[in-house]
Amino acid sequence: MADKENLFYTEDHEWIEVLEDNKFRIGITDHAAEQLGDVVYIELPEVDDELDADEDVASVESVKSVSDVNVPFAGTVVEVNEALEDEPELVSNEPFEGGWLAVIKAEEAIDTSELMNADQYADHIAE
């Protein structure tokens, strides 16, 4: 399980777990999952897909709406959460555990200075 305190967050409710200097795992926050409701389908990227910063990495479809998930850093998809193909509800039920979306390898070290820490994100969603 990703420790929520050690993650970084975007204003669009994605969480980022830095795995190595230039490798990160991405998912959506529990706040986003709650807003979406029951997730029924997820469109994931393919391994080796190259993504630009702020490009869609996944599309999450729920009973309420469809939401795109953006990556904050350019990179190449090195792993996808294949369990979501059969169990998209993991995003709703376990957004920080089994509901992660993809692992992406950036060209260089990840600069997290534009992201929020857990306290800043809590303040963001409280607004």
Q: Are the beta carbons of 20 and 124 closer than 8 angstroms? A: no
Q: Are the beta carbons of 91 and 33 closer than 8 angstroms? A: yes
**pLDDT, tens digit, 9 for 90 and up, residues 58-88:** 999 998 899 999 999 999 999 999 999 999 9
Vertex 105 angle, CA 87 and 27, to 5°: 35
The domain spanning residue 9 has which CATH number?
A: 2.40.50.100
Q: What pLDDT score was predicted for residue 127?
A: 84
**pLDDT, tens digit, 9 for 90 and up, residues 6-60:** 899 999 999 999 999 999 999 999 999 999 999 999 999 999 999 999 999 999 9
DSSP annotation of 116 reads B
Q: Looking at the 3D structure of the chain, how many domains does it have? A: 1
Domain of 85? 4-126
